[in-house]
Amino acid sequence: MYRVPKDLDLLKVKGQFTTQLCVGPQDLQFDFGDVHFAVQSEIRLFRNGSELVRWQAGEWPPKEFYEIFNVEAALAERVNRQEIAINLNNGTSIHLYDNSDQYESMQIEIKGDGRSWII
């Protein structure tokens, strides 16, 4: 809805791991160290450039989401106004999308940043 801001600094994700996914009726939540993601929009997993699976609100995450556990993040970046990519050291990447013009797509909180990023 609000698009991914240019000044969103995801540097703290690098070198961190996620150990759990929290599944709600309309969202997926996960942490990479001090960075918390709550996502209500589509999430796609890619491996070596090919799409593995996608998750949408109201669905249970596919088993391939296990592949993001306990894997170090190599890079997290704003790809464009509507996409964030988190690249993991096992060749998997997590892509988060702001794909709604009516509703918030995700919230990101970074400890020490002092604000919530609503996208």
- Cβ neighbors of 43 (< 8 A, separation 6 or more) are 28, 54, 55, 94, 95, 96, 97
pTM beyond 0.85, yes or no: yes
Structural Rg of the chain based on CA atoms: 13
Q: Where are the domains of the chain?
A: 11-118
Which stretches within the chain are classed as H helix?
none
User: pLDDT for 55-104, tens place per residue?
Assistant: 999 999 999 999 999 999 999 999 999 999 999 999 999 999 999 888 99
Q: Where does the pLDDT of residue 115 fall: very low under 50, low under 70, confident under 90, or very high at 90 and above?
A: confident
- What span, in angstroms and rounded, lies between the C-alpha atoms of 68 and 46? 11
User: pLDDT for 90-101, tens place per residue?
Assistant: 999 999 999 988
Chain centroid, CA 77 distance in Å:
10
- What span, in angstroms and rounded, lies between the C-alpha atoms of 75 and 65? 18
Classify domain 11-118 at the CATH topology level: N-terminal domain of MutM-like DNA repair proteins (3.20.190)
Report whether pLDDT(5) > 90. Answer: yes
